[in-house]
Amino acid sequence: MQKTMDDLFESEPRDLRLADGAMVLGGFALAHEASLLVAVRDVTARAPFRHLITPGGYRMSVAMTNCGRLGWVSDRSGYRYDPIDPETRLPWPPMPEVFATLAAKAAATVGFAGFAPEACLINRYEPGAKLSLHQDKDERNYDAPIVSVSLGLPATFLFGGLARGDKQQRIKLIHGDVVVWGGPARLAYHGVLPLADGDHPLLGRQRINLTFRKAG
């Protein structure tokens, strides 16, 4: 059969199973990119990006803020989920509808029905910013998945195993990709390599990552 223009220009399907419980949904967020970016602007107008200090006293290269009932924060006393933004001393901005809906839809697509995130951490990477290898262990309940949405410049994501020394896969995550991490992958070590410089048509020289969690 003759190929149509659409066939010729359609790119590879980018849905990918990284491991048991870890699914990349390539471009899943693209249909909502405009409303997601408006929502990021609304949240960050009320709870600005800031560079948190690690318990060890280092300034994180990734700038962060939150929305939803709980926000992830770090300071000299440790990591925690806090209902109050320590910068503004106000509750975090509410979770925008488009965030909650997209996260629930992505989770349901890979078999986690009824995912209702309480916390959305918004990470902003500028060229050179990175996230060292870590586990997400500050949540009380590991049954719920974590959903992450990548926007802006591409990043190289490191996905390891349950031990720090386990071999890591490198995965390129691009604008619009959504990843659902659950089940056996929930406690895997992961990180992000230093962001390469670039100029994204919508976001310029940055990458924004949304991470949706059930904290309690």
The residue ranges that bind ligand MD3 (CB under 6 A) are: 121, 123, 131, 136, 146, 148, 179, 181, 185-186, 188, 190, 192, 209, 211
How far is Cα 70 from Cα 59, in angstroms, rounded to an integer? 22
Q: Edge to edge, what strands does the sheet with 22-25 contain?
A: 16-19, 22-25, 178-181, 146-152, 207-213, 119-125, 63-68
Decide: is 139 part of the binding site for Fe ion (CB under 5 A). no
- Pull the structure tokens for residue 212: 């949706």
- Least distance between ligand MD3 and beta carbon 7 (Å): 33
Measured from the CB atom, the residue of 98 and 174 that comes closer to ligand MD3 is 174
> What single-letter amino acid sits at 164?
R
Q: Among Fe ion, ligand MD3, none, what binds residue 65 when CB lies within 5 to 8 Å by partner kind?
A: none
- Least distance between ligand MD3 and beta carbon 198 (Å): 16
Positive or negative torsion for Cα 135, 214, 171, 54 = negative
How far is Cα 161 from Cα 96, in angstroms, rounded to an integer? 33
Span from 55-63, 135-143, 151-159, 177-185 in contact with Fe ion (CB under 5 A): 135-143
- Least distance between Fe ion and beta carbon 5 (Å): 41
Residues at the contact surface with Fe ion, assessed by CB under 5 A? 136
